[in-house]
A and B are shown apart, each in its own frame.
Chain A
C-alpha cells in the first residue's frame, strides 16, 4: 500500500490541458456527459468521465453492465447517434482537437484514419457477402476500393500483420467461412489499415473461446509494440485487461471511479468497488471458501442514488457518502480514486 498517499484535490486527470502545459496526451476526456434517448426522454448514461491516454499507452476500461463503458467508447469514435446518444457536456480532445460536436463528415476524417475501432461482434464489423479481400481493399483505400498493386500488397501486409496464415486464400473467402478468431483478426486488420494512432477495442473477446481469446490479446499487445499505437480496451473481464493494458480505469454506474497502473491497482485497489470486483473473481478464488460478492445489484441506468453511486453496496460507506453528487476523483500520486474515504478505509 503506497504510504506516501498525498491527495491533490485541485487536479483532475484531465487537468493537464487546463494547466496549459504542453502534453503528449493523445486523448484528454474531461467531465464528459453522455445521454441516450429513451422512451420517456433522455437518460444520462455517463457523467464525470475524466481520463487521459498518452501516445503508446494502453488503457483498459473495466465495468459491468450499466457502467457506461460501451457508450464511452462509442463517443470516442463518434457513433453515438446510431444508438440515440449524444455528448451533452464536457470535452474530448484528440491531439488537441475537440471531438464533441463534430459532424458525421468530420468524423469520417478521423474514424479509421486516426482512431481505429474493433467492435465486440466481428460479424457486425464485416460484410457477410463481400470477400474479405474486397473489404480490406475498402479499408485500405478509404472506401474507394482501388484495386491497384500498392493497395493489394497492403492488404496482404495487413493480413500478415494480424498473423493470418494462408492470406492469399483468405482474401477470396467470405466472413462466414472463417472461424470467430480469424474474423476478429480480419476486423483488427481493417481497423489498422490507415495506421491509426489509437485503436479502440470494445469487448473484443467476449464472443470468443478462451484459447482464441488468448491469441487475439497477445496479438493486440504485439501490435501495440510494433506499430507504436495507443490502445483503449473495454472489458468486463479483469483477466483480459491485465493481458494487454498497463493502465486500468474502473467505471461504475456511468462514472469513472479509479485510474491507475494495472500492477498498482491489482496489488492494492483504491476504490472499494474495484476491490470488490477483484475479490469476486472466480479464477483466483479459494475453493475452500465462499466467493466474495457485492450485495445488491448495480443501479439501473440513470436511476442513480444520491451521493456516491456505489454507497448502497459499499462495505465502508459512511454518512458523508450518501450526500451530494458522485464524488470527483482525487489524485494519489499517479493514481486516482473517487472514493471519499480512500485514506480511511485502506
Chain B
C-alpha cells in the first residue's frame, strides 16, 4: 500500500454568516492514494464543496489537518508556492465564471504555462496550444473569445489551464452538473483519459450517483457535514450499510443495474 497522497484528518470548517455560525464540515476523515479516483457524493448542503475547497486551500480549516503530498495544506494567502500549484489543481462547476471573460483560451492557458512551468512567451504559447489540443480545443477555437464557446468547451479550457501546472491531483467540483448529458459524457471520458495518461489522482465531487459509480474507485457519502459511509463504489451502492446511502441509491433506480440493460444490447 503506497502512502496516501491526500490525508484529511478530523477536519472541521465553520463559516460565520450574518445569521450565525454555519458548520459546513463537522469532522471528516479521508484518504486518497496516488492515481486513484475518489468520489465525494452528497446532496445540497452536505458540505462537499466546502471540503473540496479546503483540500486545495481556498478555504481555511478550523480544526483538524489536511496533508497533501506530504505537506500540510495552508490556506492560499499572498502567492501560492510553485510546489503547491504543481500538486493540486481544481476544476469548477460553473463554466461561465471559471474563465476570465477578457482572455482568450490561448492567453489563459499560456499564462498558466508561463507562471507554472517558467517558459518564455513564445514557448508558453506553443505548449498551451498543445495542451488545448489534447483536451479537444482546436487551434481556431483557442483564439476565439470565450464568449463564443459553449459550456462544454469552456470546461475543457479550464482543464487545460489546470493541467498547465502539471498537478498530481485534480479536484473536480461538480464539473459536469451544468452541462447537457451528451456533452457531460465526453467531458467524463476526457477526465478518465487524462487520469490514465498522467497518473493523476482525482477527487470528484458530485450529487450525481451515476457519474460517481462510473468514475470513482472509492466513494465517500456525505451528509450534513459528515461522512456516513465510504468504501469501494460498487460495494457502497450495491450493498449500502447506512440508511441515507440506501435512500440515495433507491432514488436513482437505474444505477443498480450492474448488468448492461437491454437498451444497450444490439438487436
Chain A–chain B contact at Cβ < 8 A? yes
Binding site for B on A (CB under 8 A): 1, 64-65, 180, 209-214, 236-239, 242, 266-268, 276-287, 290-294, 297-298, 346
Task: Contacts A282-B210, A283-B210 given; indicate if A209 touches B264 (C-beta within 8 A).
Answer: no
Query: Known pairs A64-B180, A209-B207, A210-B248. 18 more at Cβ < 8 A?
Result: A64-B182, A210-B208, A210-B251, A211-B251, A239-B254, A279-B264, A280-B182, A281-B210, A282-B188, A283-B252, A284-B210, A284-B261, A287-B214, A291-B186, A291-B188, A291-B189, A291-B214, A297-B183
A276 CA to B183 CA in the complex, in Å? Answer: 12
A214 CA to B254 CA in the complex, in Å? Answer: 12
CB under 8 Å from chain A, chain B span 244-267: 247-248, 250-255, 257, 260-264, 267
Q: Does B29 contact A (CB under 8 A)?
A: no
A282 CA to B250 CA in the complex, in Å? Answer: 16
A242 CA to B263 CA in the complex, in Å? Answer: 13
Could you list 13 A-B pairs, sorted by A, with CB under 8 Å?
A64-B180, A64-B182, A210-B252, A239-B253, A267-B262, A281-B254, A282-B185, A283-B213, A284-B260, A286-B260, A287-B215, A290-B192, A291-B186
Instruction: Indicate the member of B185, B189, B252, B260 with the most A CB atoms within 10 Å.
Output: B185
User: Are B182 and A276 neighbours in the complex by a CB distance under 8 Å?
Assistant: yes
Nearest-neighbour CB distance to chain B for A222, whole angstroms, equals: 16
CB under 8 Å from chain A, chain B span 225-255: 247-248, 250-255
- With a CB–CB cut-off of 8 A, which chain B residues contact A267? 262-263
- With a CB–CB cut-off of 8 A, which chain B residues contact A291? 185-186, 188-189, 214
A346 nearest in chain B by CB position: B267
User: Are A277 and B188 neighbours in the complex by a CB distance under 8 Å?
Assistant: no
A266 nearest in chain B by CB position: B263
Q: Does B123 contact A (CB under 8 A)?
A: no
A276 nearest in chain B by CB position: B182
User: Are B180 and A236 neighbours in the complex by a CB distance under 8 Å?
Assistant: yes
- With a CB–CB cut-off of 8 A, which chain A residues contact B181? 64, 236-238, 277, 280-282
- With a CB–CB cut-off of 8 A, which chain B residues contact A298? 180
- With a CB–CB cut-off of 8 A, which chain B residues contact A279? 264
Task: Contacts A211-B247, A214-B250, A290-B189 given; indicate if A282 touches B208 (C-beta within 8 A).
Answer: yes
- With a CB–CB cut-off of 8 A, which chain B residues contact A242? 254
What are the 6 A-B residue pairs with the smallest beta carbon separation, nearest first?
Answer: A283-B210, A214-B251, A209-B43, A64-B180, A282-B210, A293-B186
Size range of the chain B interface in the assembly: 35 or more
Nearest-neighbour CB distance to chain B for A291, whole angstroms, equals: 4
Q: Does B134 contact A (CB under 8 A)?
A: no
A266 CA to B262 CA in the complex, in Å? Answer: 8
Task: Contacts A64-B181, A209-B207, A293-B185 given; indicate if A285 touches B267 (C-beta within 8 A).
Answer: no
Q: Does B209 contact A (CB under 8 A)?
A: yes
A278 nearest in chain B by CB position: B263
User: Are B267 and A284 neighbours in the complex by a CB distance under 8 Å?
Assistant: no
- With a CB–CB cut-off of 8 A, which chain A residues contact B152? 297
- With a CB–CB cut-off of 8 A, which chain B residues contact A1? 267
Q: Does B222 contact A (CB under 8 A)?
A: no
- With a CB–CB cut-off of 8 A, which chain A residues contact B185? 280, 282, 291-293
- With a CB–CB cut-off of 8 A, which chain B residues contact A293? 182, 185-186, 189
A287 CA to B44 CA in the complex, in Å? Answer: 26
Q: Does B184 contact A (CB under 8 A)?
A: yes
- With a CB–CB cut-off of 8 A, which chain B residues contact A290? 189, 192
Nearest-neighbour CB distance to chain A for B147, whole angstroms, equals: 13
Q: Does B98 contact A (CB under 8 A)?
A: no
Nearest-neighbour CB distance to chain B for A170, whole angstroms, equals: 20
Per-residue contact bits, chain B 50-91, to A (CB 8 Å; 1 contact, 0 not)? 000000000000000000000000000000000000000000
Q: Does B32 contact A (CB under 8 A)?
A: no
User: Are B184 and A282 neighbours in the complex by a CB distance under 8 Å?
Assistant: yes
- With a CB–CB cut-off of 8 A, which chain B residues contact A276? 182
- With a CB–CB cut-off of 8 A, which chain A residues contact B248? 210-211
